[in-house]
Amino acid sequence: MEYKPITKPAIEQFAVEPNLGEYDGARQSITWEQIRSELDGHPGGGLNIAYECLDRHLKTNRRDKVAMIWEGKDGEQETYTFEQFTKEANRVANGLRALGVEKGDRVFMFIDRVPECYFTAFGTLKLGAVIGPLFCAFGPDAVKDRLEDSAAKVLVTSPALWEKIKEIRGDLPALKTVVLVTRREEAKPAAGEVLWDDVIAGQSDEFETVNTDPEDYSVMHYTSGTTGKPKGAAHVHNAIIGHYATGKYVLDLHEEDIYWCTADPGWVTGTSYGMFAPWSNGVTSLIHEGGFSANAWYGLIAKYKVTVWYTAPTAIRMLMKAGEAAAKKHDLSSLRYTMSVGEPLNPEAVVWGERAIGLPFHDNWWQTETGAIMIANYASMEIRPGSMGRPFPGIEPAIVDDEGNEVAPGEEGDLAVRPGWPSMFRTYWNREELYDSCFRNGWYITGDRARMDEDGYFWFIGRADDVINTAGHLVGPFEVESALLEHEAVAEAGVIGKPDPVAMEVVKAFVALKDGYEESEELRRELRQFAIGKLGKAVAPREIEFLPGMPKTRSGKIMRRLLKARELGLPEGDTSTLED
């Protein structure tokens, strides 16, 4: 089926940036200097994300404006103005300082979407320390790898989540303190543990945000590669320029908006666009702790009169499954702009949005390493369903070949971006050589395959590597294979992404058993539980299939590509390196 471009009534989004309003390929219509001048900057001359998101609004009439509307999983509701939010973050900053946290230290968060998660993030940033958000559906091994690599000093979590992983404590000598948020459960702190209430008790709600340099580290997100353990993409305070700019021009945030980003802070969308973009723009943001249900989600939009909504393809496909009628039962007339990110957005989903909620979904593209949106279907632009859109001003993406030379429009190649934008990651923690290997001929190579059409719209083709994208979350096959190999019955494991109509891909493991073990339904279940116990549901394989042995290269490397081709019934491609 052919999808026609969607043109919408002209809006004034880029009234001050004429080059984008009528896009003509010019990319410099907004300069980073211009954007930077709209931020306050730290009075001491530096730049600090928390200062731009919180402190600076207290000097304006946003002081009493609601920054965060929080709805808990049981329907509880709390709101925090910019001033109240700042005071909470200040208490945390003072409390963390009392625990010995210093500038540059890593404070990790393994906590649900409760207000304390957000207070911790900003308290830590105010202190000049670095936040490391983790997804709550990780298991002990997944958390351990990340805390170990980053040498995190403090972990903020809840008693229930800590219970799930606390066996790892002995392996983490750098971890000095575990802070337990007892919002939902009681806890008796053991040695090295302290209750949240005790951390902030008696702390002043005044705190002078540390005058960080724009190049000081701010946020770390672990992301999966094709080989090796997850790597920590490290960002700096300067990134706020990108968050603010894309919040204004891609999310199209305006003063009166009620904005809802459905992503969890454990993934980069939940920090860059769940926290930094809305709050640096002084906009009210809805945080929903609960999980997905079509009815609950539509209900939230109607209840809080959400105007700008940023979500993901898997969620949209689940809404499509629930049917148009489910949307029509709610008053969604407050919505004026809806976007999607994280996976390819089916053209059908774009058009479905128009039918069911009266608005098309605007797709955009970026990744953990880029820190902020690079390519987008802007509010002011014609949408080409199936395309990720066009570059943000000041961003120069291209499609390049193996030598790093740009290819002609329409040709497939590696999606690359010219380095130098403010929110670009500065390194992979402890893995400088891996960071260096991401560059070719002056381009940052993203790991995605794509093409660009004659009009400068980019179209996603697939990953260049074996990284799995399940429901918008990247999973590294090596991490899953390593966990399975720790089971006594497993001789070899090969892990692939199996296409799935809703989640795009699900993690599928092929397992060869050691001599003396028989394949059985029971063993399959046991292996799955074993992997969940180690990695958590977000990473563990959904499916396991037994094979007598793995296809391997002559040098002994498991050929995941071949496992995938066989799974899909596709031609096996070049097998000349296959072991005899």
How many residues are listed for the chain in this entry? 580
Which of residues 268 and 531 has its CB atom nearest to ligand PRX in the complex?
A: 268
**Residue 580: CB minimum distance to ligand PRX, A:** 35
**Among residues 122, 298, 365, 378, which is the contact residue for ligand PRX, using CB under 6 A?**
365
Quick check: 338 binds ligand PRX (CB under 6 A)? Answer: no
**Among residues 13, 29, 48, 269, which is the contact residue for ligand PRX, using CB under 6 A?**
269
**Among residues 268, 339, 417, 468, which is the contact residue for ligand PRX, using CB under 6 A?**
268
Q: Kindly state the number of chain residues that form the binding site for ligand PRX, as judged by CB under 6 A.
A: 22
Please, which residues bridge with residue 72 across strands? none
Three-state secondary-structure class, residue 500: strand
Quick check: 134 binds ligand PRX (CB under 6 A)? Answer: no
Cβ neighbors of 12 (< 8 A, separation 6 or more) are 380
User: Segment 220-249, which members bind ligand PRX (CB under 6 A)?
Assistant: 223
**Residue 122: CB minimum distance to ligand PRX, A:** 21
Cα angle 276, 247, 312 (rounded to 5 degrees) comes to 85
Site string for ligand PRX, 470-489 (x = CB under 6 A): ----x---------------
Which of residues 194 and 438 has its CB atom nearest to ligand PRX in the complex?
A: 438
- Rounded Cα–Cα distance for residues 168 and 156 (Å): 15
HSE-up (13 A, CA, CB side) for residue 311: 26
**Residue 564: CB minimum distance to ligand PRX, A:** 16
- Rounded Cα–Cα distance for residues 510 and 519 (Å): 12
HSE-up (13 A, CA, CB side) for residue 75: 3
Cα angle 7, 10, 16 (rounded to 5 degrees) comes to 130
**Among residues 141, 216, 363, 414, which is the contact residue for ligand PRX, using CB under 6 A?**
363
Which of residues 20 and 341 has its CB atom nearest to ligand PRX in the complex?
A: 341
- Rounded Cα–Cα distance for residues 564 and 276 (Å): 38
- Rounded Cα–Cα distance for residues 383 and 24 (Å): 15
- Rounded Cα–Cα distance for residues 274 and 271 (Å): 5
Quick check: 460 binds ligand PRX (CB under 6 A)? Answer: yes
Quick check: 497 binds ligand PRX (CB under 6 A)? Answer: no
Site string for ligand PRX, 283-322 (x = CB under 6 A): ----------------------------------------
Which of residues 92 and 268 has its CB atom nearest to ligand PRX in the complex?
A: 268
Quick check: 342 binds ligand PRX (CB under 6 A)? Answer: yes
**Residue 496: CB minimum distance to ligand PRX, A:** 15
Please, which residues bridge with residue 413 across strands? 450
Quick check: 463 binds ligand PRX (CB under 6 A)? Answer: yes
Which of residues 90 and 346 has its CB atom nearest to ligand PRX in the complex?
A: 346
Both tokens of 401, joined, read: 């070949």
**Residue 469: CB minimum distance to ligand PRX, A:** 6
Cα angle 368, 378, 261 (rounded to 5 degrees) comes to 50
| Cα→Cα distances 212→101, 122, 216, 507, Å | 15, 14, 6, 40
Which of residues 213 and 382 has its CB atom nearest to ligand PRX in the complex?
A: 382
Amino acid identity, position 101: V
User: Segment 384-443, which members bind ligand PRX (CB under 6 A)?
Assistant: 388
Which of residues 128 and 397 has its CB atom nearest to ligand PRX in the complex?
A: 397
Quick check: 366 binds ligand PRX (CB under 6 A)? Answer: yes
Phi and psi dihedrals of 208, rounded to 5? -90, 110
**Among residues 13, 469, 470, 482, which is the contact residue for ligand PRX, using CB under 6 A?**
469
Which of residues 264 and 448 has its CB atom nearest to ligand PRX in the complex?
A: 448
Which of residues 46 and 225 has its CB atom nearest to ligand PRX in the complex?
A: 225
Amino acid identity, position 574: D
> Do residues 14 and 393 lie in contact, with contact meaning Cβ atoms separated by under 8 Å?
no
Which of residues 124 and 269 has its CB atom nearest to ligand PRX in the complex?
A: 269
**Residue 415: CB minimum distance to ligand PRX, A:** 8
**Residue 54: CB minimum distance to ligand PRX, A:** 24
Site string for ligand PRX, 139-178 (x = CB under 6 A): ----------------------------------------
- Rounded Cα–Cα distance for residues 291 and 314 (Å): 13
| Cα→Cα distances 365→198, 258, 335, Å | 42, 23, 22
Helix runs in 190-238, H state only: 196-200
Both tokens of 254, joined, read: 């305006």
Quick check: 343 binds ligand PRX (CB under 6 A)? Answer: yes
How many CB atoms sit inside 10 A of residue 198's CB?
A: 13
In the complex, the residues that contact ligand PRX under the rule CB under 6 A are: 223, 267-269, 341-344, 363-368, 388, 446-448, 460, 463, 469, 474
